Amino acid sequence: MAAGLRTIATGISLAVALAAGAADAQRVPFSYGKRGDPLLEPRFKVFDIAWRLPLVERQILAYRPRELAGPAVDELTGEVVVATSDGRVRLLTSSGREIWESSIGAAATGTPLLTDMAVFVGAADGALHALARFDGAELWSSFLGAEVVERPVAVGGTVFVGTDHDAVHALDEASGEARWVYRRDPGSTLTIRGGTGVSEGDGRIYAGFSDGAVVALAPDDGRILWQAPLAAGDLDKFPDSDAVPVYRDGTLYVTVFNEGTYALDATNGRVRWQASTRGATSLRLDGDLLLVGGSDAWALDAATGALAWTVDLGRGWTTQPLVVGKLVVLSGAPGMLFVERDSGRPLRVFDPGSSFASQPAARGNDIYALSNLGYLYALRTALK
């Protein structure tokens, strides 16, 4: 669900709120040329294009967005795995050289999970596929009956994965056999087309659902440890808890689309603070800042929820914020927007002539992003 809105708006105007204050912050216009080139030039270099690699043959009248599964990078080796709409999965070196290529027979729908032994990829056939890390051979596939749109989590020999039908599956990491399934009734309200994302912390599995509830599950048998129904009872549409929950030091950060961002006590689900971030769909915790993505982008104090800065995205950027050194990267229909981490000031837009529906990945100062035209870009940031 943290992947956020599946329909990415195409607006081309942007206003930025720069002040640490909230409602009355000054907004500075930021406009674009015909191809999305920024008219505001930065005073210093923000990034270089290290290389690009075409992965998918162009198709006429293809549905957009096409590439829903972002790349994943191994922090130790720098190897990059990327799964595309033509059902192919590739493992690449950090310089773009192909190590192996495999096929899962259906379009990839979720960012892969890369472990020491395997690559796990969700696909449009409703299955989670496991490929051998070293040669791409299929180890197993497990039919889940719904699309996986968020990255799975592997803990203690079990793979935990959510689907777009409000379910969490626990699978044996070696065989793919089901250990347990938790299903939640999605109800009858209008919801955002996302999917359940899962995370782990302090021996619990956390998930948010389309009815606005956040649930903590026992990893061994899926029993409910606690649940927090965060959406107000009078909401008749979009109560989704879309963001993949983020855990740190006993606190769980979550969102509700029509309510805002919450910090919960991870032991019992009680609310510690709530911030007004209507339209929030994704989270990224970076030091003292909680970065929230969605219809806008917000930077909140992780301890108190106080607003540090906000960027009015005009519904143009929707993927999870990515932090690379002093930069925050936001991807979506107009391209990739680079802003200063500490102030939210816009620096540069990268527009390769196509939009980004998937989440980019980063290692050090390198960013890997898959465009909707099927090009994998490697960008190297200049700000360290």
**pLDDT tens across 93-104, in order?**
999 999 999 999
In angstroms, the Cα distances linking 294 to 207, 301, 311, 329, 362 are 18, 17, 10, 13, 20
Q: What is the model's pLDDT at position 6?
A: 33
Name 217's Cβ contacts closer than 8 Å, sequence gap at least 6: 168, 182, 204, 205, 206, 207, 223, 224, 225
- pLDDT surpassing 60 at residue 321: yes
Of 8 and 304, the one with more pLDDT: 304
**Whether pTM exceeds 0.85:** yes
User: What are the pLDDT digits (tens) for 115-166?
Assistant: 999 999 999 999 999 999 999 999 999 999 999 989 999 999 999 999 988 9
In a domain, 99, yes or no: yes
Q: What is the model's pLDDT at position 40?
A: 47
C-alpha–C-alpha distance, residues 268 and 134, integer Å: 41
Q: What is the model's pLDDT at position 37?
A: 42
Domain of residue 49 covers 14-381
Of 258 and 226, the one with more pLDDT: 226
Q: What is the model's pLDDT at position 2?
A: 38
CATH code, domain with 88? 2.130.10.10
Helix runs in 300-373, H state only: none
Question: Is the separation of the CB atoms in 183 and 191 below 8 Å?
Answer: no
User: What are the pLDDT digits (tens) for 167-195?
Assistant: 999 999 999 999 999 999 866 554 555 67
In a domain, 5, yes or no: no
Average pLDDT over residues 333-356: 90
In a domain, 2, yes or no: no
In a domain, 148, yes or no: yes
C-alpha–C-alpha distance, residues 158 and 253, integer Å: 23
C-alpha–C-alpha distance, residues 172 and 179, integer Å: 7
Omega cis (within 30) before 334: no
> Which of 146-155, 183-192, 240-249, 323-332 has the least mean pLDDT?
183-192
DSSP state of 295: S
> Which of 6-15, 188-197, 303-312 has the least mean pLDDT?
6-15
In a domain, 1, yes or no: no
From 320, 322, 325, 321, select the one nearest 365 (Cα to Cα). 325
Domain count, the chain: 1
Q: What is the model's pLDDT at position 192?
A: 57
C-alpha–C-alpha distance, residues 376 and 53, integer Å: 5
Residue spans of beta strands (DSSP E) within 123-250: 127-132, 138-143, 153-155, 158-162, 167-172, 178-183, 198-201, 204-208, 213-217, 224-229, 246-248
In a domain, 196, yes or no: yes
In a domain, 7, yes or no: no
The chain-wide mean pLDDT, for the chain, equals: 85
In a domain, 360, yes or no: yes
